[in-house]
Amino acid sequence: MLQWLRQRFQRRPLTEPALHHPEPPEQQSHGSAAPQAAEPDPIAALMPFQIRPLDSSDMADLLGVFREAIQISAADDYDQQQRDAWSQAQSHDSLISVLSEGDTVVAEWDDKLVGFAHRIRDYINMVFVHPDASRVGIATLLYQHLEDGARIDGITELTTHASLTAHDFFAYMGFISEGQEQAERDGVPLTRHLMRKSLV
Ligand SMILES: CC(C)(COP(=O)(O)OP(=O)(O)OC[C@H]1O[C@@H](n2cnc3c(N)ncnc32)[C@H](O)[C@@H]1OP(=O)(O)O)[C@@H](O)C(=O)NCCC(=O)NCCS
């Protein structure tokens, strides 16, 4: 994952000056050089956001991220009626109930909660990133934590129902679409993809 972060930050630097630093020579690949003993990684220390487990005090912020992500980030793929039905499908209490089972990780940036992701066994149930924090790799990091946990649990295949908005993200993560299907929220139809990824 850290290799991915280095590539990403070199390709798309954020505002922090440290992210513009070239890769230190000692971090560059030297073919047959023996692996170094594990040391604190400077790139990890400079990450502007952190991924951590869910805390009970996060719930109100989570609901805000969920609703904003749908209303803004999904606006090109779903009309207003669909976004309203989808974003109102979870309440504070139902989100607590859903997230009480399985594995949830959240992303914090400048002490603000900007994303979360949830896995139940072999199913990636939710990945939501606030639109203000989109396309800097937060969903990728959240997902990688869930996939790492699934591998530790011995899971050999992950499934998800990806929104039209999230299809390309999941494809980027290695999922393959098995086709579109219709879900329904409050009587409103929502097209989504059934997608799978083998972990073996
Ligand atoms: C889908 C979503 C989680 C992606 O979050 P993100 O943090 O912006 O994603 P990342 O920055 O990790 O994206 C990694 C890669 O995925 C792909 N990707 C992500 N969002 C994309 C989009 N809207 N269009 C095309 N490709 C996209 C790109 O390849 C991207 O790499 P790049 O930025 O170098 O091109 C976020 O847009 C979101 O919350 N959407 C609305 C809610 C939703 O649909 N959630 C999923 C429910 S199933």
Domain CATH code at residue 56: 3.40.630.30
pLDDT at 42: 60
Structure tokens at 81: 């009626």
* Reported confidence tier of residue 6, pLDDT bands at 50, 70, 90: very low
> 168 in helix, strand or coil?
helix
- Nearest atom (ligand 1) to Cα of 160: 48
Could you tell me if residue 9 is inside a domain?
A: no
Assess if residue 21 is contained within a domain.
no
Please state the domain count of the chain.
1
Q: Is the pLDDT of residue 90 over 50?
A: yes
Q: Please indicate whether residue 134, judged by its CB atom, sits closer than 6 Å to ligand 1.
A: yes
Q: Mean pLDDT of all residues in the chain?
A: 84
pLDDT tens, residue by residue, 110-163: 899 999 999 999 999 999 999 999 999 999 999 999 999 999 999 999 999 999
Atom of ligand 1 nearest to the CA of 11: 34
Using a 6 Å cutoff on CB, does residue 173 contact ligand 1?
no
Residue 175: is its pLDDT beyond 70? yes
pLDDT band at 48 (very low <50, low <70, confident <90, very high): confident
* 168 touches ligand 1 (CB under 6 Å): yes
With respect to residue 33, please indicate whether it lies within any of the assigned structural domains.
Answer: no
Q: Quick check: CB of 43 below 6 Å from ligand 1? A: no
With a 6 A CB cut-off, is 127 part of the ligand 1 pocket? yes
CA of 36 to the centre of ligand 1 (A): 34
Over residues 82-109, the mean pLDDT reads 95
Instruction: Please give the residue range of the domain that contains residue 158.
Output: 49-198
Segment 22-30 mean pLDDT: 34
Q: What is the percentage of the chain residues whose pLDDT exceeds 70?
A: 77
CA distance 138 to 59: 19
Return the pLDDT at 60. 87
Q: Tell me whether residue 169 is in a domain.
A: yes
Residue 4 maps to a domain: no
Q: 135, 161, 191: which to mutate for ligand 1, most atoms within 8 A of CB?
A: 135
Domain assignment present for residue 42? The answer is no
Domain assignment of residue 190, yes or no:
yes
1 has a pLDDT exceeding 50: no
Give me Rg for the CA atoms of the chain. 18
Pick the more confident residue, 7 or 95.
95
Least confident of 42-51, 91-100, 117-126, 148-157: 42-51
Q: If you measure from the C-alpha of residue 135 to the centroid of ligand 1, how many angstroms do you get, rounded to a whole number?
A: 6
Whether residue 5 lies inside any domain: the answer is: no
DSSP string, 42-98: HHHHH-SEEEEE--GGGHHHHHHHHHHIIIIITTTTS-HHHHHHHHTS--HHHHHHH
Mutate to test the pocket of ligand 1, among 169, 177, 185 (most ligand atoms within 8 A of CB): 169
